[in-house]
């Protein structure tokens, strides 16, 4: 059985998916660390890779709360594949994923493992269009920001999903997990 490709994104109630609009706290970081640790591989586009590397590559940034450390350790340790035609090189336990995206992602999914995790905006949109995402996790923050990038802009056809799990944090953050309908 192929390992699943799981997508996660933080969103505000008005659909903003900027990482700066999220409300970070210890419970959210524990959840995110467990989510990353449940995968053997991360799949990133250029923007998400560069953002995560600058924020989470060891050593720990001065002034960062100690409760962020498990997330930093989890993301630092896991193998990463990066989809980019503009980055000259990657490191941080990473390599490029080159060639036809659908073919290469199917090869990754066919490898033994617990799962592949992805995040961001542009690459996951393409992966969704190709029907390669097996689970969607939307982390909804109880906040309206009135600005910022919107998720799935330009998606050519609707994605029909079924709710498979939900969780609520003390902060009011809702974690909604979906699978494609028919899967």
Distance CA 60, CA 140 (A): 27
Integer distance in angstroms from the first to the last C-alpha of the chain?
13
Question: What domains does the chain contain, in order, with CATH numbers?
Answer: 5-180 (3.40.430.10)
Distance CA 69, CA 73 (A): 6
Per-residue pLDDT at 19: 79
Per-residue pLDDT at 22: 85
Give tens-digit pLDDT for 141-160: 999 998 888 888 888 999 99
Within its chain, how far is the Cα of 41 from the centroid? 11
Q: What is the pTM of this model?
A: 0.93
Q: List the 161-168 sheet strands across, edge first.
A: 94-96, 79-83, 41-45, 116-118, 5-12, 135-141, 174-180, 161-168
Mean pLDDT of the chain: 92
Give tens-digit pLDDT for 96-140: 999 999 999 999 999 999 999 999 999 999 999 999 999 999 999
- The 8-class DSSP code of residue 63 comes to T
Per-residue pLDDT, averaged over 46-53, amounts to 93
Three-state secondary structure call for residue 105 = helix
Per-residue pLDDT at 57: 83
Per-residue pLDDT at 56: 87
Q: 3-state SS string over 78-104?
A: CEEEEECCCCCCCCCCEEECCCCHHHH
Burial class (CB within 10 angstroms; exposed 0-12, middle 13-18, buried 19+) of 11? buried
pLDDT band at 2 (very low <50, low <70, confident <90, very high): confident
């Amino acid at each position: 059985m192929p390992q699943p490709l799981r997508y996660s994104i933080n969103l505000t109630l008005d659909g903003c998916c900027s990482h700066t609009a999220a409300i970070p706290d210890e419970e959210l970081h524990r959840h995110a660390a467990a989510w990353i640790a449940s995968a053997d591989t991360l799949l990133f586009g250029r923007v998400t890779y560069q953002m995560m590397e600058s924020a989470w590559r060891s050593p720990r940034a001065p002034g960062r709360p100690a409760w962020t450390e498990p997330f930093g350790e989890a993301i630092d340790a896991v193998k990463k594949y990066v989809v980019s035609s503009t980055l000259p090189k990657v490191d941080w336990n990473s390599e490029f994923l080159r060639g036809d995206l659908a073919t290469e992602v199917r090869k990754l999914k066919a490898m033994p493992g617990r799962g592949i995790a992805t995040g961001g905006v542009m690459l996951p949109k393409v992966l969704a269009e190709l029907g390669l995402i097996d689970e969607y996790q939307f982390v909804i923050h109880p906040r309206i920001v009135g600005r910022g990038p919107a998720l799935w802009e330009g998606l050519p056809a609707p994605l029909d999903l079924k709710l498979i799990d939900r969780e609520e944090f003390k902060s009011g953050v809702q974690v909604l997990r979906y699978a494609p309908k028919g899967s």
